[in-house]
Amino acid sequence: MIPSFFRVRTFDVTDSTNTLAKKAAESGEAEGLVIHAHRQTAGRGRLGRVWESPEGNLYVSVLLRPCCSLQDALFYNFSAAMAVHDTVVDLSPTSLFQLKWPNDVLESGRKISGVLLETAPLEKGVLEWLVVGVGINVASHPTDNILYPAISLASLGVKTTIDQVLESFLKNLDRWIKVLKYDGFNPIRKAWLSDARMGRMMVRTSQGTIEGDFSGLDQTGALILRLADGKEQAIHVGDVLMREE
């Protein structure tokens, strides 16, 4: 059963479930609204990138109103990534799933899911709403992306339905949102770290590309890299490329 906190509205097709959820947020819809579409015509990734959204995969956006700061809103990124992680691990326990900072779930280095967090404009230090959008490749995945290889549950031999994946994801999300609400970010940080992709990485930031070894995740959700000179640097916004890529 889907937790009673959520109200799921399913559409055959929409431009982007995040866009629909944001419109609902701006028109005063209560939190717990879930916009689910079978297909998106303009699915979005971060920084205006495209999220390939053919029929057969999960596209879902959840409206929340936690009354938090912009800084704390980032914790919902990690809660959603953990919810995706737990969902795919349940479905394919023998696969090697890892979390890649900040928002990806990978299987053996291939991207199976992405999370797009969007927030209201900040007023008086508190956010009116935030929308957590999640795509999970269930039936198919893009095959022409060499820089970031992708994978789907079907390619891993998992036989499931979108409804099952949606229900499992919402149950896991409900649990991780409660962890965040009652126990704070630290337990999420620890769980995320225990399945994080580590090693040498290059991170593209607005200040250029930084290379270093994964050294952790700080209390704000920033990635900590150890640089060649032994110093540690916290990165708040960027794109990780593993060294071998």
**Residue 25 found at the interface with ligand BT5 (CB under 6 A):** no
User: d(Cα 47, Cα 197) in Å, to the nearest integer?
Assistant: 22
**Residue 115 found at the interface with ligand BT5 (CB under 6 A):** yes
**Residue 45 found at the interface with ligand BT5 (CB under 6 A):** yes
User: d(Cα 45, Cα 115) in Å, to the nearest integer?
Assistant: 8
Of 83, 82, 81, 109, nearest in space to 95 by CA: 109
Over the window 58 to 97, marking each residue x when it contacts ligand BT5 by CB under 6 A and - when it does not, the resulting string is -xxx------------------------------------
**Residue 168 found at the interface with ligand BT5 (CB under 6 A):** no
Of 168, 169, 97, 108, nearest in space to 133 by CA: 169
**Contact between residue 136 and residue 167 where contact means Cβ atoms under 8 Å apart:** no
Report in angstroms how near the CB of residue 18 gets to ligand BT5 at its nearest: 4
**Residue 18 found at the interface with ligand BT5 (CB under 6 A):** yes
Report in angstroms how near the CB of residue 64 gets to ligand BT5 at its nearest: 14
Of 75, 24, 44, nearest in space to 183 by CA: 75
Report in angstroms how near the CB of residue 58 gets to ligand BT5 at its nearest: 8
Over the window 173 to 202, marking each residue x when it contacts ligand BT5 by CB under 6 A and - when it does not, the resulting string is ------------------------------
User: d(Cα 182, Cα 178) in Å, to the nearest integer?
Assistant: 6
Query: What are the residues facing 203 on neighbouring strands?
Result: 210, 240
Residues that bind ligand BT5 (CB under 6 A): 16-18, 40, 43-47, 49-52, 59-61, 103-104, 111, 114-116, 133-135, 137, 141-142, 145, 148, 150
